[in-house]
Structure 1
Amino acid sequence: MRTIYPLGNKAEKYILQNSFRRKISRGKYLLKPGEFCSHYYYIHEGVLRAFIKEDNKEITTWINPENEITTSIRSMTRSEPSLEYIQALENSELYVMSFESLQKMYTLFPVMNIVIRMLLTEYYAASEERSYICRLPSAEKRYDHFNASRPELVNRIPLKYIASYLGMSEETLSRLRSRKTPVK
Structure 2
Amino acid sequence: MKQSLGLFENITGVSDAAKQKFISFLEEVKAEKGHKLEQEGQVSHNLYYIAEGSARSYYVRDNRDITVSFSLAGEFVTAMHSFITRSPSYETIETLEKSIVYRISYEDLQQCFLDYPDMERTYRIILEKYYIALEEQLIFSKFKSAKDRYLELMENKPKIIQKASVGQIASFLDMTIETLSRIRAKI
TM over 0.5: yes
* Partner in structure 1 of residue 145 of structure 2: 138
Residues 140-164 of structure 1, C-alpha deviation per residue, up to 9 Å, x if partnerless?
1221232233233233322221111
Within a 5 Å distance, the mapping from 1:79-158 to structure 2 comes to 79-136=86-143, 138-158=145-165
> SS at 1:95's partner residue?
strand
> Is the 8 Å Cα contact of residues 79 and 92 (structure 2) preserved in structure 1?
no
Where do residues 50-69 of structure 1 align in structure 2 (5 Å cutoff)? 50-69=57-76
* Pairwise CA distance, 1:132: 1.2
TM-aligned CA deviation for residue 86 of structure 1: 0.8
The SS at the match of 1:37 is coil
Secondary structure of 1:155's counterpart equals helix
- In the alignment, the residues of structure 2 paired with residue 167 and residue 2 of structure 1 have an alpha-carbon distance, to the nearest angstrom, of 33
For structure 1, the 5+ residue unaligned runs are: none
Superposed displacement of residue 137, structure 1:
5.2
1:66-121: CA deviation from partner (whole Å, max 9, x where unpaired):
01111111112222111111111111111010111111211211221222222222
- Identify the match of residue 21 of structure 2 among 14, 21, 27: 14
TM-fit CA distance, 1:171: 2.1
Query: Contact between 2:38 and 2:93, CA under 8 Å: does it hold in 1?
Result: yes
- Residues matched between the structures, number: 180
Report the residue type matching 1:2 in the other structure: F
2:40/2:88 contact within 8 Å kept: yes
Is the aligned partner of 1:24 residue 2:46? no
Judge conservation of contact 1:62–1:165 (CA < 8 Å) in 2: yes
| Alignment partners' CA distance in 2, 1:62 and 1:134 | 12
Following the alignment from structure 1 to structure 2, what is the Cα–Cα distance between the partners of residues 8 and 74? 28
Tell me the alpha carbon deviations over residues 7-51 of structure 1, each in whole angstroms, 9 at most, x when there is no partner: 333112212321110111101212222111111000011111011
Contact 2:49–2:102 under 8 Å retained in 1: yes
Of 2, 21, 40, which aligns to 2:8?
A: 2
- Alpha-carbon contact 2:38-2:78 (below 8 Å) kept: no
Letter in 2 for 1:89: L
Q: Which structure 2 segments of 5+ residues have no match? A: 1-6
Q: Which amino acid aligns with 1:81?
A: P
Tell me the distance in 1 between the aligned counterparts of 2:8 and 2:107.
21
- SS at the partner of 1:62? strand
